[in-house]
Amino acid sequence: MESEYFDKKKTIELRKKHIGPSCKVFFSHDPIKIVRAKGQYMYDEKGEQYLDCVNNVAHVGHSHPDVVKAGTRQMGLLNTNSRFLHDNLVRYAQRLQATLPDRLSVCYFVNSGSEANDLALRLAWQYTGHKDVITLDHAYHGHLSSLIDISPYKFHQLSNTEPKRSIHVAPSPDVYRGKYRADHPDPAKAYADEVEEIIHQAHEKGGKIAAFIAESLQSCGGQVIPPVGYFQKVAEHVRRAGGVFIADEVQVGFGRIGSHFWAFQLHGEDFVPDIVTMGKPIGNGHPMSCVVTTREVAEAFMSSGMEYFNTFGGNPVSCAIGLAVLDVMEKEDLQGNALRVGRHLTKLLERQKENHPLVGDVRGHGLFVGVELVRDRVKLTPATAEAQEVIYK
């Protein structure tokens, strides 16, 4: 019987022929061809089982039967756009809002983290009437043109590329290898003062601050955990300048940190962003995302006179899947699991640090954990080649 799968060589050949060359694959020297997945495991065309430590969207496990059932059932009933009334949209918005502070009460549903962050910028620009945006060094917020502009992680890869005049890059609040480290008496204030200085410099050049945007815990930037109090102080400076605070929770939200549902909550109940963006895990791999903001910001956006419409954002199937993901998280106590397993993982990694000088730092919350490899623990020389070898192993 002929196999239902192409030979791997043919898959590679067809990919090279028809897929954009800048779309890379994992493990380029010998790519893995995955044909199915369940729970935390993935399987190649030969039936080889892999523990999936790469995907950050399969939040409740690959092919979770409850999520598959919810999507399939709704797909068999109705899928249309949000201009028609449908209970799934308002049910999901209500459930999502219940996880957030009361002030964050208005939802806009979109299809990806990139779309969410792009819309967050539009909300900020309209609400404030300003244009300048402050972002963190090494940040990544998405692949749209507006987001490459605020993603040093990307634009630093381009030769001779400087940020636009309206984009300002603040130092990453990295207390391990950054400008102000763990031995500093108040690294939160020191890093926030850098943001205040950027605001002053922008004003001197005629700029006006629309927003400060940051992942609540920097992911692509190196699993950086900001010192507690940093966001409160930054928010004070930014709001005093007439701007808003955007918390990007696309990678770090939705219970991943274990102790809280949202990573910005690590900074205490008194800290509430003006806009929160989310994506990736909320649909367990299904393309859906959301922007949640205050009533004031939403009304200012409406006052522009331009209707906001997104064909697939908040469609009945996406919302059914989103509701199922929340149900599974609650039923299986996955936030508690992230806390318990994360602590166990961190303990095991700390033991590796004791045994191997190559391990410079272990940091994170819940199942958002990073290991920094260094060739010298004093000089903090990055062990780039060694890190790459560990990834491939």
What pLDDT does 157 receive? 65
| Domain identity same for 323 and 354 | no
What pLDDT does 1 receive? 37
* Chosen domain end from 310, 331, 352: 331
User: What is the SS3 assignment for 1?
Assistant: coil
Boundaries of domain holding 88: 65-331
Q: Residues for the chain: how many in total? A: 393
Encoding tokens for residue 381?
Answer: 């020389």
Using 50 as the pLDDT threshold, list the residues of the chain that sit under it.
Answer: 1-2
Asked if 104 and 294 count as a contact pair (C-beta separation under 8 A), the reply is: yes
Per-residue pLDDT reduced to its tens digit, 15-64: 999 999 999 998 888 899 999 999 999 999 999 999 998 888 999 999 99
Q: Which is nearest to 171 in space by CA: 134, 199, 116, 200?
A: 134
Q: Distance between CA 248 and CA 116 in Å, rounded?
A: 9
Q: What is the total count of domains within the chain?
A: 3
Q: Distance between CA 8 and CA 83 in Å, rounded?
A: 44
| Domain identity same for 79 and 142 | yes
Q: Tally the C-alpha atoms within 13 A of residue 254's C-alpha that lie toward its C-beta.
A: 28
| Domain identity same for 77 and 221 | yes
Q: Distance between CA 19 and CA 380 in Å, rounded?
A: 39
Q: Write the single-letter amino acid at 317.
A: V
What pLDDT does 19 receive? 96
The residue ranges of DSSP E strands in 191-263, in sequence order, are 209-215, 244-248
| Domain identity same for 239 and 368 | no
Per-residue pLDDT reduced to its tens digit, 157-215: 666 667 789 999 999 999 999 999 999 999 999 999 999 999 999 999 999 999 999 99
| Chain centre distance of CA 297 | 22
Q: Give every CB contact of residue 264 below 8 A, 6+ residues apart in sequence.
A: 216, 231, 247, 249, 271, 273, 276
Q: Give every CB contact of residue 38 below 8 A, 6+ residues apart in sequence.
A: 61, 62, 63
Asked if 290 and 279 count as a contact pair (C-beta separation under 8 A), the reply is: yes
Q: Write the single-letter amino acid at 147.
A: L
Q: pTM (2 decimals)?
A: 0.96
| Domain identity same for 99 and 169 | yes
Provide the 10 A C-beta neighbour count for residue 387: 15
| Domain identity same for 123 and 50 | no
CATH number of the CATH domain containing 150: 3.40.640.10
| Domain identity same for 104 and 181 | yes
* Chosen domain end from 55, 74, 96: 55
